[in-house]
Amino acid sequence: MLERRAKTPQLLRATPTKRLAVLQPHLTNTSREMFLELAQYCPLDIVASPEPAGMGFKVAPIEEGPRVRCFFGPTSMPVGRQFGWIQWSVVSYILRERPQALFLNANPRYLTFWIALLWARVLGIPAYAHGHGFYRRGRIGTSYKLMMMALLKLVTTYICYAPIVRQAFLDNGFPGRKLAVAHNSLINRFPVLPGEKTGAELGLLFIGRLRQESGLDLLLRVIERVRREDGPPLWLHVIGEGEQEEALRERARDCPWIVFHGGVYDSPQIRRISLQCFAGCYPGKAGLSVEHMMSLSLPVITHNDMRDHGPEPSFLRDGVSAILYDRADPEQSLYEAVRSLACDPAKVAEMRQNAFADYQSLAHPSLAERLWAIIGENENPRCARISEEMLQSVKLSSRAHTGPERP
């Protein structure tokens, strides 16, 4: 049930007293990098399940040592997919270990999420939940509100992915006392600077999992239409893998301008592919992929239904760093967005600068540093200062991207 991976020495910084248990459904390569950076601030126990088969990503192993220990075990759903998920690595960890703090992915479907919160309350250790809340729902009903009230009662702090998540709590009458924000972001160590583009690029980049929610079939139709109706001879570069890959490859079999690169996890290679592109496009339910595109100096094209996305597209600025096409008329609106941008290199150059600048504001300080400013505030006087600075940054970001904060 509990698998421990081989250990290799890895000492990053002097160890403070706090050992943080990181409880996650599974890791991604992005979260893996973030947790390795967080381990520079405090030692971690990473408790997770293996990545789901066929989901379109493979995660590099983590080398263990004094700073990082890993505990892996399966997840079961004995009563179906709606509620009561049991992550056996969490159960085993709770029975054997006693960390000084918990950092949990805030997924209320996991029975083990609630068990871990109660365990932390009994042991008297801080518990930090990190999640996207319920911003997609708008107003929530009584039963959901009671559940979230219980969650906020048990946690030390609920760390929101974005200001839009925190605002949803406030709009539904929750006090802001236990709500913090750490922009969900990534660090691309091989970015593309705006000046590296020539202005003659004819490619669009999609990067993400190839699943039904990605909307790639729509993008394929739009690219074909642009080329057919005397538009620029655009190319589409697709980076990713997943359950829809085979069907999409078959759909594009006679379209040589659609290039499937497969699951590319080498950042320099992704960078090289992106140099052929003038913009990024994620026509479906987007998440962190939009920030990856921005780190490559690509304006982002996606739809305007913010509640249907993950929280990360809320950082996009329509007409500044991105074009948000009308989801009510998806094919025509996406066609107009792609064609207009492809025919306006001056606009692309301006938006390219803005996209990269917005990426830098999201990625620096990094997510790991933002999290430690919240989690380690009582450990390190410097963290209290960083936390206050970041609070001001969040308020400014919230006004820039989602309008003024409402009481």
Confidence of residue 326 (pLDDT cuts 50, 70, 90): very high
Distance, C-alpha 218 to centroid of its chain:
23
Instruction: Answer for the pair 337, 374: CB distance below 8 angstroms, yes or no.
Output: no
Residue-wise pLDDT tens digits, 252-288: 999 999 999 999 989 999 999 999 999 999 999 999 9
> How many Cβ atoms from other residues are within 10 Å of residue 220's Cβ?
19
- Residue 383 backbone dihedrals phi, psi, to 5 degrees: -65, -35
Q: Edge-to-edge, what's the strand order for the sheet holding 322-325?
A: 258-262, 235-239, 203-207, 277-281, 300-303, 322-325
More confident call, 352 vs 404: 352
Span 338-348, average pLDDT = 96
Confidence of residue 84 (pLDDT cuts 50, 70, 90): confident
Span 93-99, average pLDDT = 90
Of 118, 15, 113, 24, whose CA–CA distance to 67 is shortest? 15
* pLDDT above 50 for 393: no
* pLDDT above 70 for 217: yes
Instruction: Answer for the pair 288, 225: CB distance below 8 angstroms, yes or no.
Output: no
* pLDDT above 90 for 398: no
The helices-and-strands tally (H runs, E runs) of the chain is 13, 16
β-bridge partners, 88? none
Span 315-323, average pLDDT = 97
Q: What is the DSSP letter of 178?
A: T
Residue type, 346: A
Instruction: Answer for the pair 181, 166: CB distance below 8 angstroms, yes or no.
Output: yes
Confidence of residue 55 (pLDDT cuts 50, 70, 90): low
Q: What is the mean pLDDT of the chain?
A: 87
The pTM assigned to this predicted structure is 0.84
Residue-wise pLDDT tens digits, 1-49: 333 333 333 333 444 457 899 999 989 889 999 999 999 999 999 999 9
CA distance 397 to 248: 37
Domains of the chain: 3-187+365-402 (3.40.50.2000), 196-362 (3.40.50.2000)
292 CB-near residues (< 8 Å, 6+ apart): 186, 188, 207
Q: Using DSSP, state whether 301 is helix, strand or coil.
A: strand
Instruction: Answer for the pair 336, 324: CB distance below 8 angstroms, yes or no.
Output: no
At 376 the pLDDT is: 86
